[in-house]
């Protein structure tokens, strides 16, 4: 997934600390320190797997002697009941880390599954499905990685890596054209400038200002098609605003280049995934 490990490890450590606190009362009271177990992770519904690398990091962060083996690739489609990973090591460590590991895995796999659904729907069109900044606070790097594993693409990572002049920016400045000019004078020539447009008049103004990307925000499909024809290749065209699985094909048919879908990250259901111990050895006894 090419995740920045220090950043991900920080989130994993925070999640473990949040869950474990001063100690796992149940496990510490029940499980002998020398007990070793094997476990499997399996999916309980069809979907796309994302986050196995994160799961491995969760277990190894708690106990670096735990052995983890993925049974499928990241981004793989899986059927209900399929085994996706095997884990072995100290029983106490497996039990203590399992919920944090599953929380990450279920969330990321749910996002990847939703993204794959959208990507499949528009597979016949030359258009990209992309995410937005509508992510869970603190989990953006993981949720955006899940989008990529589901076949989608990432929009900007944050406010720092791209310019997007939105309606509230325009409400605070003299005009759309003035906003583009002012930004262009303050950012590097390597940075693309995106402008949000809700009307054909704003599209025309964005074209006169030579915006690099024009976002058609909450436009009806027929109006969006007119806007695409008006732009006529002079800027990258992005469609955004309330797009769902029942409307995304009609949006793709308008000829836009990019379709951004906030629902990929803010409304995806977590995939149902379980972890089960399948064998234990405590002083030579197997259960």
**Residues 77 and 101 reside in one and the same domain:** yes
**Residues 103 and 222 reside in one and the same domain:** no
Counting the structural domains of the chain, the total is 2
**Residues 232 and 159 reside in one and the same domain:** yes
Listed as ranges, residues in the chain with pLDDT below 50 are: 284-287
**Residues 132 and 234 reside in one and the same domain:** yes
Of the listed 56, 143, 194, 196, which one is catalytic?
A: 196
Give the domain range for residue 188.
Answer: 119-266
Contacts of 48 (CB under 8 A, 6+ apart): 75, 76, 77, 78, 109, 112, 113, 115, 116, 149, 150, 271
Cα separation, 261 vs 114, whole angstroms:
10
How much is the pLDDT for 279?
A: 83
**Residues 213 and 239 reside in one and the same domain:** yes
| Annotated catalytic residue 217 | yes
**CATH assignment at residue 220:** 3.20.20.70
- Cβ–Cβ < 8 Å for 19, 260: no
pTM for the complete prediction?
A: 0.94
How much is the pLDDT for 286?
A: 36
| Annotated catalytic residue 166 | yes
Question: For residue 249, is it within any domain?
Answer: yes
**Residues 66 and 143 reside in one and the same domain:** no
**Residues 178 and 251 reside in one and the same domain:** yes
Helix (H, G, I), strand (E, B) or coil at 15: helix
Of the listed 99, 140, 184, 192, which one is catalytic?
A: 99
| Annotated catalytic residue 182 | no
Question: For residue 286, is it within any domain?
Answer: no
| Annotated catalytic residue 134 | yes
**Residues 99 and 158 reside in one and the same domain:** no
CA gyration radius, the chain: 23
Of the listed 44, 83, 166, 208, which one is catalytic?
A: 166
pLDDT in tens, 138-147: 999 999 999 9
How much is the pLDDT for 287?
A: 37
**Residues 106 and 125 reside in one and the same domain:** no
**Residues 60 and 197 reside in one and the same domain:** no
Write out the binding residues. 99, 132-134, 156, 166, 196, 217, 240-242, 261-263
How much is the pLDDT for 135?
A: 97
Contacts 24+ apart (CB under 8 A), 224-227: 224/251, 224/254, 224/256, 225/253, 225/254, 225/255, 226/200, 227/197, 227/200, 227/203
How much is the pLDDT for 2?
A: 72
**Residues 154 and 219 reside in one and the same domain:** yes
């Amino acid at each position: 997934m090419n995740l920045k490990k220090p950043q991900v490890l920080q989130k994993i450590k925070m999640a473990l600390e949040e869950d474990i606190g001063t100690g796992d009362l149940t496990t510490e009271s029940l499980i002998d320190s020398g007990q070793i177990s094997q476990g499997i992770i399996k999916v309980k519904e069809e979907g796309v797997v994302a986050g196995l690398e994160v799961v491995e990091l969760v277990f190894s962060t708690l106990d670096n002697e735990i052995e983890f083996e993925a049974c499928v690739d990241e981004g793989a489609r899986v059927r209900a009941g399929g085994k996706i990973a095997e884990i072995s090591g100290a029983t106490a460590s497996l039990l203590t880390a399992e919920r944090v590991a599953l929380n990450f895995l279920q969330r990321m796999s749910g996002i990847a599954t939703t993204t794959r659904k959208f990507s499949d729907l528009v597979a016949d069109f030359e258009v990209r499905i992309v995410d937005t900044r509508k992510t869970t606070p603190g989990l953006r790097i993981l949720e955006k990685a899940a989008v990529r594993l589901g076949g989608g693409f990432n929009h900007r990572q944050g406010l720092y890596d791209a310019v997007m002049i939105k309606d509230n920016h325009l409400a605070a400045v003299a005009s759309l054209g003035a906003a583009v000019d002012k930004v262009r004078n303050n950012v590097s020539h390597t940075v693309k400038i995106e402008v949000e447009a809700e009307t054909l008049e704003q599209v025309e103004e964005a074209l006169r200002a030579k915006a690099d990307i024009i976002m058609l925000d909450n436009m009806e499909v027929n109006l969006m098609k007119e806007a695409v024809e008006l732009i006529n290749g002079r800027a990258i065209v992005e469609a955004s605003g309330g797009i769902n699985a029942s409307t995304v094909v009609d949006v793709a048919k308008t000829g836009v280049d990019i379709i951004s879908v906030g629902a990929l990250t803010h409304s995806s259901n977590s995939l149902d995934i379980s972890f089960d111990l399948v064998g234990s050895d405590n002083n030579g006894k197997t259960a």
